[in-house]
Chains A and B, each alone.
Chain A
Amino acid sequence: MAQLTARFRTENRRYTVEDVPFSVPAASETTDLSQLINKLLAAGNADHKYVEFDFLINGQFLRMPLVTHMEMENISTEEVVEIEYVEKYMAPQPEECIFHDDWISSVQATEEWILTGCYDQTARIWSLEGKSIMTIAGHTEVVKDVAWVKQDSLSCLLLSASMDQTVLLWEWNVEKNKVKALHCCRGHAGSVDSIAVDCTRTKFCSGSWDKMLKIWSAVPTDEEDEMEEGANRPRKKQKTEQLGLTRTPLATLSGHTEAVSSVLWIDAEEICSASWDHTIKLWDAETGDLKSTLTGNKVFNSVSYSPLCRRLASGSTDRHIRLWDPRSKDGSLVLLSLTSHTGWVTSVKWSPTHEHQLISGSLDNIVKLWDTRSCKAPLYDLAAHEDKVLCVDWTEGGLLLSGGADNKLYCYRYPTTASDVGA
């Protein structure tokens, strides 16, 4: 059998082996290599326990026999191959399945609570154990997006955006378990599809079907903003059906030619929006100017930004997840395509703790956990949903959440291994 000479290397101090070339069978796969490393470690350290490893060659995960991988990557088999190994990521463990009354359009979770937006015109707060804490009803149409603004031990501020063209700012008193609509943000002329709160927690941005982005203040006040009224609408009638005080936008960013499907804050001054007009636009939040445009050739459903790797990930109405560098000015904007889904990618979310990992939900009912070092195949498929997946989220505490058209919200615990932190 053909042999290859390989040199093994790791970043993790606990599992270092001697830096000498080994001769390994060319057809060996990850399990074979893993056993080899474990044998070496056991030889050096008597109380070593068996650990599964994953192997990277030039930053690409090994997912097939070694020689096939090297042929595909055009790596010469004559020279010594440098193989990096990391502790294998554990599979996400399913934790909870939370039942809703209708489709789940959006989810955002914190360390303590989960906030979901639902097609039955409500937003709901759940504990991490899957217990329903609060149902927030007030919208007259489908709730399309939800977001936490601020969390204290006493009261929390949260936002819900709806197809009824408003965004409501709610105050939730945790102790009394009461919600109160503080402000009704009016100004959009279409369904509000996406909201994002900035890092200072004082502003938020909303993107709507009416092609506009609007920036609002997230600070509750007692004053009501004046709103120019259409002469046709009696003021009294409007008062009765509205919750909270009216709030008008601080700024309006227009430039998209189609519906805005997703917004986010890259940092305190920069807003990113993805739209149905096949573009991702970056805006200056202070001045409202368009900074740059990334043009794709499909409708964008969702966009996510990772401050760790400074990459944008976009899900669009084809099978691919694309990674973009928002800073790049030259033509080649797509850095990488992750392809394994068979339907539209409706939602993507970067890991808040790991620079290489993200999850995606798709219309093919599957949530996939990706590592950008393996773009052909995902790390794990989470195939629990029975219908379209509409939203995903990933919390700092390592919780993966996905909701979809089967009215179920699935939670997975994804352990952050020590090697992740070390890397």
Chain B
Amino acid sequence: MGWNWGWGLCIPRATGRGCRGEEQGGSTPPSGPICPGAAACSGAPNPPLTPFPSASLQDIRNTVGNIPMEWYQDFPHIGYDLEGKKIYKPIRNKDELDMFLEKMENPDYWRTVQDKMTGADIKLTDEQIDLVHRLQKGQFGDVHFNPYEPAVDFFTHEVMIHPVTNRPADKRSFIPSLIEKEKVSKLVHAIKMGWIKPRKPKDDTPTYYDLWAHEDPNSILGRHKMHVPAPKMKLPGHEESYNPPPEYLLSEEERLAWEQQEPAQRRLSFVPQQHRSLRAVPAFPRFIHERFERCLDLYLCPRQRKMRVNVDPEDLIPKLPKPRDLQPFPTTQALVYRGHTSLVRCLSISPSGQWLVSGSDDGSVRFWEVSTARCMKTLPVGGVVKSVAWNPNPTICLVAICVEQSVLLVNPCLGDKLLYGATDQLLESFVPPEEERVQPVQWVPATMEEHSKGIRLVVQHSKAVKQVTWHGKGDYFASVVSDNSNMQVLIHQSSKRWSQNPFRRSKGLVQCVLFHPIRPYFFVATQRYVRVYNLLKQELTKKLMTNCKWVSSMAIHPGGDNIICGSYDSKLAWFDLDLSTRPYQLLRHHKRALRSVAFHKHYPLFASGSDDGSVIVCHGMVYNDLLQNPLLVPVKVLKGHVLTLDLGVLDVLFHPTQPWVFSSGADGTIRLYT
């Protein structure tokens, strides 16, 4: 049997798949060895089978088909036989040692393969191994197949007298083309019309592209104006003569000096020499060298005149007026108000400018006479005073003081007797409304003992109060509570003892609030933004981006159109409310965090106090003319406070009428600069 294909080895059984086997039943060995079904199905050459122990008894062909046999990995069987019974995996109990022994002892080990379908070991015959070798070499499986049979030509390459085809030529190859005729008539028409000129004499003059045809001769970069002539060579002098006058000849010392000089530093690049006659002049040894240097000169010479822009750095600095032209402003420390034993957090001044009030961490509020630094009164309040505010209305003598969770309204009993008497009467004239209204705070009249100290009303909040500020008319005041909810800002009316919470939602941690001096606006500074609310329309008017990390303080120009914000990242932002919601200028004069900023009521001055212990006074002129932007000039750095606990100036304040500035510091003093 020359071809030993799989179906030549099939089973002598009358099954569905064994039909081919029946065709070649004659070739089946009578012993009927059984082949594993896989080879039969895949069509691969099937080797003659080794006798299987039970092969004579039953046919164990697997019927699972051409599937990955890993699917049966976890089962005890590996498929089903023709009768649908499970074929169990042969018991493999060979360990490594058995394997090794078999490898060593079995001479046919190398030709034994495992049949995946049945799990039986099969020993390959010599023919099968030959077939495998041939296939591995890329040869045909059949030994007798010759792939290189001699080629037989279909047509001969020689020219024969008879054509291959004998078809006569078409008629259309003898009559002129209609398309060509159309083209020719078009050309003829164009010649008649004069569109084409046949046999025109050829123009022999060469055409060049004129690079400079469109150049503007008057331009400043015009070629001729910018022409830089090549550097000229120096004309030869007496030194180059073959017989120079003796004064040009180098003496011995000069020649030594010449030799010691660097070639670049020599005045002459050669040594003048004297020759008897022109005939005796030898060839110039440096000729090539000199030519080369000349070429270098030409090559490296400047080709272009550089337009240098001469800018004086001074011109780039904006023209600011000199500080001494901007007088008056505070320049020197005049008075020190001593008395507090701890850091003085806050300051406020009476509208007349006669009294100053200060609140300190030592739990007291002190009232000072401005002109002499005399402490007129001390009011112990039993807690850290976070903020004080003197009523800006000159007809009311009242100070609001933030102590822990309450705002105290204190009548300092300073100044005009009639005024502070009237203030008391104003507060006492309160008639409680008939129906009790729900209020976010409690208004408690002072006890007798407190009354004798000057305290008139106590506004008790639910959380610690950190700032209080009056409206310009002196009836309303706003307080800021350190809280995270919408209850951070409260507006109170002192005459009606009525408080309200203007905001429904919290927009962040409120740092400070401010009333507009003229219009019904309310400024709320959170960490990064200042929001401007219209109190009449009850809506947000503007939102100012401070470009700062954390706003610490805010002050408004008495005109009401400009505000300044100090921030803990040592910046001061000036906003022009008419101009933009971004800072008009960002001043970075301080080295440390700003704690407080203030505007003067009449003079064009503003000041900022910082943790670096200095107060910087700036001239901030706001013009009535809308076209002219504000003029900001720093004029003075005022130092005096001693740094205590890493804190410097905590509050700054201007005198209402004089160009004086007060600063309170962590060293427990208040200083007046004039």
Q: Is A331 an interface residue (CB 8 A)?
A: no
**B421 x A189 contact (CB < 8 A):** no
**A258 x B657 contact (CB < 8 A):** yes
Task: Please report the C-alpha to C-alpha distance between residue A317 and residue B660 in the assembled complex, in whole angstroms.
Answer: 10
Q: How far is the CB of B152 from chain A (nearest CB, A)?
A: 129
**A299 x B658 contact (CB < 8 A):** yes
Task: Please report the C-alpha to C-alpha distance between residue A405 and residue B373 in the assembled complex, in whole angstroms.
Answer: 10
**A317 x B425 contact (CB < 8 A):** no
Note all chain A residues with C-beta closer than 8 A to B324: none
Note all chain A residues with C-beta closer than 8 A to B371: 261, 301
Given A191-B354, A344-B334, A363-B335, the answer on whether A388 and B372 have CB atoms closer than 8 Å is: yes
Produce 1/0 per residue, A199-226, CB < 8 A to B: 0000000000110000000000000000
**Please, which residue of chain B has its CB at the minimum distance from the CB of A259?**
B354
**B334 x A317 contact (CB < 8 A):** yes
**B418 x A189 contact (CB < 8 A):** yes
Task: Please report the C-alpha to C-alpha distance between residue A232 and residue B417 in the assembled complex, in whole angstroms.
Answer: 12
Q: How far is the CB of B116 from chain A (nearest CB, A)?
A: 111
Q: Is B328 an interface residue (CB 8 A)?
A: yes
Given A165-B416, A165-B417, A209-B354, the answer on whether A119 and B374 have CB atoms closer than 8 Å is: yes
Task: Please report the C-alpha to C-alpha distance between residue A233 and residue B424 in the assembled complex, in whole angstroms.
Answer: 13
Interface residues of A in 116-144 (CB under 8 A from B): 119, 142
Produce 1/0 per residue, B337-377, CB < 8 A to A: 00000000000000010100000000000000001111010
Note all chain B residues with C-beta closer than 8 A to A164: 417
**A232 x B425 contact (CB < 8 A):** yes
Given A297-B328, A344-B334, A405-B372, the answer on whether A233 and B674 have CB atoms closer than 8 Å is: no
**A209 x B352 contact (CB < 8 A):** yes
**A276 x B657 contact (CB < 8 A):** yes
Contact with B334, one of A191, A210, A363 (Cβ below 8 angstroms): A363
Chain B interfacial residues counted at CB < 8 A: 21
Q: Is B18 an interface residue (CB 8 A)?
A: no
Q: Is A422 an interface residue (CB 8 A)?
A: no
Task: Please report the C-alpha to C-alpha distance between residue A298 and residue B415 in the assembled complex, in whole angstroms.
Answer: 24
**A103 x B417 contact (CB < 8 A):** no
Q: Interface residues of A: mostly helix, strand, loop or mixed? A: loop
Q: Is A168 an interface residue (CB 8 A)?
A: no
Interface residues of A in 362-378 (CB under 8 A from B): 363
Produce 1/0 per residue, B424-437, CB < 8 A to A: 01000000000000
Q: Is A355 an interface residue (CB 8 A)?
A: no
Q: Is A318 an interface residue (CB 8 A)?
A: yes
**A343 x B415 contact (CB < 8 A):** no
Which of B371, B376, B657: most chain A CB closer than 10 A? B371
Note all chain B residues with C-beta closer than 8 A to A297: 327-328
Produce 1/0 per residue, A343-356, CB < 8 A to B: 11000000000000
Given A388-B372, A405-B372, the answer on whether A230 and B418 have CB atoms closer than 8 Å is: yes
Note all chain B residues with C-beta closer than 8 A to A400: none
Task: Please report the C-alpha to C-alpha distance between residue A258 and residue B659 in the assembled complex, in whole angstroms.
Answer: 14
Q: How far is the CB of A99 from chain B (nearest CB, A)?
A: 18
**B416 x A210 contact (CB < 8 A):** yes
Q: Is B143 an interface residue (CB 8 A)?
A: no
Q: Is B422 an interface residue (CB 8 A)?
A: yes
**B335 x A189 contact (CB < 8 A):** no
**Please, which residue of chain A has its CB at the minimum distance from the CB of B414?**
A163
**A190 x B334 contact (CB < 8 A):** no
Q: Is A390 an interface residue (CB 8 A)?
A: yes
Task: Please report the C-alpha to C-alpha distance between residue A232 and residue B376 in the assembled complex, in whole angstroms.
Answer: 27
Given A209-B354, A299-B658, A317-B674, the answer on whether A189 and B416 have CB atoms closer than 8 Å is: yes
**A103 x B657 contact (CB < 8 A):** no
Interface residues of B in 103-137 (CB under 8 A from A): none
Note all chain A residues with C-beta closer than 8 A to B658: 276, 299, 317
Interface residues of A in 246-299 (CB under 8 A from B): 258-259, 261, 276, 297-299
- Top 9 A-B pairs ranked by shortest CB distance? A189-B416, A317-B674, A344-B334, A209-B354, A299-B658, A190-B416, A258-B657, A165-B417, A343-B334
